[in-house]
Amino acid sequence: MTSHHSSHYDAIVIGTGPGGEGAAMQLSKSGKRVAVIERYAMVGGGCTHWGTIPSKALRHSVSRLIEYNNNPLFNSGDRLRQLTFQDVMSHASSVIKKQSRLRGSFYDRNNVDIIHGEASFVDSHTLKILKEDGSVDQISARQFVIATGSRPYTPADIDFTHPRIYNSDSILSLNHQPKNIIIYGAGVIGSEYASIFRGMGVKVDLVNMRDRLLSFLDTEISDALSYHFWNSGLVIRHNETYASVEGHDDGVILNLQSGKRMQADCLLFANGRTGNTDMLALDNVGLTPDGRGQLQVDSQYRTEVENIYAVGDVIGYPSLASAAYNQGRYVAQVMLGQASEETLIEDIPTGIYTIPEISSVGKTEQELTASKVPYEVGRAQFKHLARAQIADTMVGSLKILFHRETKQLLGIHCFGERASEIVHIGQAIMQQKDEANNIEYFVNTTFNYPTMAEAYRVAAINGLNRLF
């Protein structure tokens, strides 16, 4: 890219993850002169390089490995097939390259300038760009979008430079085959990596600060995951907090505040993330991030400075690639003065790529019970579906929550292989207005047979049979 000295843009987007991409594309398609700043050589942000894409690619390979080892057709049973972490990483790396190349082509095609370097604010219309070679450029714009994302929280009392102590970014460069691993933090990332390592035959100890796994989920789903972890030999310790971490030549020792000590070949610290704001010199424009490095925005994603907006992980919840992309597109419409009342989707689906997968949209049973909504439950167990029997993915089920009187869908919860795809069928009906959002849809429509989608018909009939 040519460097544009003291160029003036309509808008500059800082960061090329899903949030930055959504904003830049939308602004550029509306004829604005746009630049994006990216401090790494490749576009795509944490989503493409360290988070979403690599971990899901790893999960896919490990799932196939488990499938292979469990299938008497392929595996004569004398020896289990083993893969090293580097083996499965090579597939993930090829996916990362494909994604980054594709995303890079979008910027070219839409005439968006990509400027590589680290951005910091000089004032509310000017950025300083520190290039890799040490040179500094200044560029200015009318409006800015901060889409700088987040990074793993790394407390100062843990030595992350130690070759056996990892965070969720550095774990991707793991180059030995651990026999056992301690994962500290049992949120989404910790649970996903617990599945990946356990699936590769590594002994896993998962340390959870709370008293249950993924407590934002519907309790039954969270219990199902706990059971599957337990059943696969994974050890979970609840209500524990670390006191200290000791890195040794031959392993790691985790000392817990409860007095327990744990030992393993390596430790993955996956507890919390921090917004990437410390390098932006935000005090020069009068913005102050909170203790987690996150920025406050209003319903239009505007910060306290009227020409500076922020989207994605850097504003916190829900910290999902899918949500960030939508926020980016929406903020572009706000900046163009085209934002409609049809604001962002209320119900954002959750996809959790453990083995088996989890996905849900809408309310949990606990939320409905607490707000005294008279709901009923419809269920379909995968083991009864022909498609699941054929594919041998019989673990799991689909649960539909619906209103007893209006029959409106209130929540969809799915546990099992392909859950993150299956959930969208229910989501589509749930998003319909008024009478069109009705569980009867699934009974009166014809599903391909055999499919996983047909779980909706089974679950709908099951639920309607409970009404009296």
> Which CATH number is 215's domain given?
3.50.50.60
Answer yes or no: is 396 a known binding residue. Answer: no
Answer yes or no: is 131 a known binding residue. Answer: no
Tell me the whole-structure pTM to 2 decimals: 0.94
Residues 263, 308 within the same domain: no
Answer yes or no: is 187 a known binding residue. Answer: yes
Identify the domain boundary among 271, 296, 311.
271
Residue 408 resides in a domain: yes
Identify the domain boundary among 227, 249, 271.
271
- The band of 345, judged by pLDDT with boundaries at 50, 70 and 90, is low
Q: Are 180 and 205 in contact (CB under 8 A)?
A: yes
What is the predicted pLDDT for the residue at 346? 67
- The band of 341, judged by pLDDT with boundaries at 50, 70 and 90, is low
Residues 406, 425 within the same domain: yes
Give strand pairing partners of 359: 351, 414
Answer yes or no: is 351 a known binding residue. Answer: no
Residues 58, 144 within the same domain: yes
What is the predicted pLDDT for the residue at 398? 98
CATH of the domain at 397: 3.30.390.30
Q: Using alpha carbons only, what angle is made at residue 97 by residues 94 and 103, rounded to the nearest 5 degrees?
A: 140
> Stretch 142-160: mean pLDDT, rounded?
97
Answer yes or no: is 41 a known binding residue. Answer: yes
Answer yes or no: is 42 a known binding residue. Answer: yes
**Which residue in 347, 453, 423, 399 sits closest to 223, CA to CA?**
399
Answer yes or no: is 188 a known binding residue. Answer: yes
Residue that is written with structure tokens 């007095």 in the block: 259
**Which residue in 204, 205, 228 sits closest to 415, CA to CA?**
228
> Stretch 394-411: mean pLDDT, rounded?
97
Answer yes or no: is 150 a known binding residue. Answer: yes
Residues 117, 57 within the same domain: yes
Answer yes or no: is 56 a known binding residue. Answer: yes
Residue 3 resides in a domain: no
How far does Cα 453 stand from its chain's mean position?
Answer: 24
> Stretch 232-260: mean pLDDT, rounded?
98
Answer yes or no: is 285 a known binding residue. Answer: no
Q: Is the pLDDT score of 3 beyond 60? A: no
Residues 217, 72 within the same domain: no
Answer yes or no: is 186 a known binding residue. Answer: yes
Say how far apart CA 448 and CA 457 lie, in whole Å: 11
What is the predicted pLDDT for the residue at 344? 58
Run of H or E residues at 119: strand 118-123
Number of separate domains in the chain: 3
Q: Is the pLDDT score of 26 beyond 50? A: yes
> Stretch 127-151: mean pLDDT, rounded?
96
Residues 41, 54 within the same domain: yes
Residues 143, 31 within the same domain: yes
Domain that holds residue 400: 356-464
Residues 316, 396 within the same domain: no
Residues 305, 319 within the same domain: yes
Answer yes or no: is 313 a known binding residue. Answer: yes
Residue 182 resides in a domain: yes
Residues 40, 140 within the same domain: yes
Residues 217, 254 within the same domain: yes
Answer yes or no: is 191 a known binding residue. Answer: yes
